[in-house]
Structure 1
Amino acid sequence: MIKKAEAEVFKRISFGVIAAVFLILSVAGLGFAQEATPGQGLEISPPLVELNTDPGKTVSFEIRLRNITQGTLIAKSDVDDFVAQGEEGQPKLLTEANAEPSPYSIKGWARAIPEVRLVSQEVKATTITLDVPADASPGGHYGVVRYTAAPPELEGTGVALSASIGSLVLIKVSGDVKESAKFEEFFTTQSGKRKSFFEYGPITFVERVKNEGNVHFKPIGTVRITNMFGKEAGVLTINEKGGNVLPASIRKFEQTLNSKWMFGRYNAEANIQYAGKNISGSLSFWVIPYKLIAVVLGGLIALFLAIRWFLRKYVQRAISKASSTPKKPKKK
């Protein structure tokens, strides 16, 4: 009986250990799959929607979802507002957890969005409809249509397969729209450090553009660099990716001049166009490869001293040889 009881206990312990190991491996495998899969279950397109409309109008657009998992998913949506966060163009979602009043809200404009059922690798399109209020303020309004996904067996449990993904929505409502921008700063950096004196390239140019209006805009422009003789050393494109600057925010743009060997004083002029208007900024910087110059000068000085030493030795040897040679007696 004792041996039978011990065997039963051992069996239970063994089963528990195996179950624990299986659970650990399952969680680890799930984490790996999520990290390795873009969108963590869903793909969405387009990532950005830009619309122009009038107060009191209805606008619609299409969002496409793709299930990139091996099973069936139920995708549910939410519409939230967002504002600019930092200067890199990152959005900050204003969800219920961090709710803040936004003067650019679209949260209450969306009609009910049906859930989407997707089998593995299936793509479906959903039409999103927004009713713009008749008293909507002119200018920009911003939101995001977010989707979270879960397998059918988890539907209603509040458990999602992964973090949500979404399409950002930028709307321009007609009326008394104010479009105004300011060059907040224009400077140069290297390896993340702000400076105007460099030993060598590459050199990064940074423009901080402030939106002082009530609507987003997409700046474009160039940075033109000339050397101390007025010759063009490079032309760089500002905002190649087509990023927007939201109202009451600053957006930072960066471009890199990849020339390594430069010398002297340089001038740079940045010209930016937006909404048919222009802003500009200028700066100067120096590039002096002082370490290389020091090495070259040191080498030249060493060569000069060596030549001087050898010449001195040669002269001394010649004089010594001449003085040690016996003079022949003069013939009478």
Structure 2
Amino acid sequence: MQKSKVQFNLPAKWQAGSQNYSKIFLIFNLYFCSLLFALLFNNIVFAKGESISLTPLIKEITANPGETISGTVDVTNNSSDKIIQTFYPLARDFTSNDDPNDSAPKFFESTPDDYNFALAKWITFDEESYKVGPKDTVNIKYTISIPLNAEAGGHYAAVFASTAPLDVAGQNAVAISARIGSLILATVSGDIISKGKLTEFKTSRKIYQKPPIEFSTTIENTGNIHLKPSGTIAINNWKNAEISDVAFNDKTGSVLPKSKRVFSDKLDSIGYGKFTAVATLTALSGNGEKIPLTAQTIFWVLPITAIIITLIVIILLILFFRLWLKRHDRAVKKK
């Protein structure tokens, strides 16, 4: 006896719909796999970039026109993978960021002809490439040849260790190497102009309910040499007695010539009342000159919420008392 097979034939419209759903499901799987691969790939590239370190991060030098100075940058391959990295040294000029609140330098891929503070064109390297094994360090040697007609003042460049040769490095290589770049702040002797001013000193608001108190200090460099401001922000109470202070520019940031920079500092603990913040600073020029800078601002620390609640309670008590007096007077008159 043969078993009969039961078959269900779906309508043509339903079969077409089923095929469409299969296509959609296939496309979704492909998209998900592509997205997962992209995320994993990005993480691998990021980790690879983080495995490289470079020292020193900043170097300041002073030279005379016609002088030649040699230096080194140490590049370390921190990766434990058995891969030998190849690095190509390159130099790029930099200037201050267009936004004074952004302390990150702006690098030139192609330095403008009218930029008077260039340095990269004077830098040459002993070798075109360097190979660094895992957990190994290599010294990138460079030479700075100052021309006899070099303009006095500051000149600024960064030495990068790029994973791409100079002729194909481009913007992408600079972006990758920016995390391991070494900044060079050079001072060429001659007619040095050390000039700067403190243009603004303020708190983020005039009245605080509680700390932290945020200070913003804008310093403008109108000279031709970089300035490194330092000092303290003293906090005085209403009796003009100093009760606290804040170290200014503890990261030792510099202000490049013909630019402004905003420095941010913070006071984490303070009581209530009226206070005066007094900034007493010194801007140290690249050639050793000192420029005094001072400013002050007033701010308040008040428990506004508690004050408002207290005032509301007092007003309610006054209204209640007046209402009680009226009722009391009426009761007395009736008697």
Report 1:263-274 matches (<5 A): 263-264=273-274, 266-274=275-283
Alignment partner, residue 332 of structure 2: none
Task: Specify whether residues 66 and 155 from structure 1 end up closer, same or farther in structure 2 by C-alpha distance, changes over 3 A only.
Answer: same
The equivalent residue for 2:294 is 280
Question: Which runs of 5 or more residues in structure 2 are unaligned?
Answer: 1-28, 284-288, 329-334
Q: Which has the larger radius of gyration?
A: 1
The alignment's TM-score, normalised by the length of structure 2, stands at 0.75
1:218, CA displacement in angstroms?
0.9
Over aligned residues, Cα RMSD in angstroms? 3.5
- Alignment of structure 1 residues 178-197 onto 2, 5 Å: 178-189=193-204, 195-197=205-207
Change (3 A) 1:105 1:267: same
Query: Is the contact between residue 220 and residue 260 of structure 2 (CA under 8 Å) also seen in structure 1?
Result: yes
Judged with a 3 Å threshold, the aligned counterparts in structure 2 of structure 1 residues 261 and 292 are, in CA distance, closer, same or farther, namely farther
| 1:126 and 2:140 are equivalent in the alignment | yes
2:234 to 217, 220, 224: 224
- Secondary structure of the corresponding residue to residue 310 of structure 2: helix
Q: Which residue is equivalent to 1:204? A: 214
Match of 1:235 among 245, 267, 274: 245
Is this contact kept in 2: 1:201–1:262, CA < 8 A? no
Deviation at 1:207, TM superposition (A): 0.8
Q: 1:108 aligns with which of 121, 131, 145?
A: 121
Alignment correspondent of 2:20? none
Q: 1:199-236, CA deviations, whole angstroms, 9 ceiling, x for partnerless residues?
A: 33322111100011110121111111212122223211
Preserved CA contact (<8 Å) 2:233 2:278: yes
Pairs aligned (count) = 292
Cα 1:67–1:19, aligned 2, differ >3 Å: closer, same or farther?
farther
Residues 1-332 of structure 1 aligned to structure 2 (within 5 Å): 27-37=38-48, 39-69=49-79, 70=81, 71-85=83-97, 86-87=99-100, 88-96=102-110, 99=112, 101-114=114-127, 115-149=129-163, 163-165=176-178, 166-189=181-204, 195-259=205-269, 261-264=271-274, 266-274=275-283, 275-300=289-314
| Pair 1:283–1:22, CA change in 2 (3 A) | closer
Structure 2 distance, partners of 1:68, 1:99, is 36
- Whether contact under 8 Å (1:81, 1:102) holds in the other structure is no
Once the two structures are TM-superposed, the CA of residue 313 in structure 1 deviates from its matched residue by: 11
Tell me, in whole angstroms, the C-alpha distance in 2 between the residues paired with 1:157 and 1:172: 31
Question: 3-state DSSP class of the match of 2:124?
Answer: coil
Q: Distance in 1 between matches of 2:306 and 2:103?
A: 40
CA contact (8 A) 2:208 2:300 kept: yes
Q: Is contact 1:180-1:211 (8 Å) kept? A: yes
Aligned 8 A contact 2:255 2:261 in 1: yes
Give the partner amino acid of 1:111: T
Asked whether the 8 Å contact 2:122–2:145 carries over to 1, the reply is: yes
Q: TM-score, structure 1 length as denominator?
A: 0.76
Deviation at 1:99, TM superposition (A): 4.7
Question: How many angstroms apart in 2 are the aligned matches of 1:27 and 1:206?
Answer: 41
Q: CA deviation at 1:291?
A: 2.3
Q: Secondary structure at the match of 2:120?
A: coil
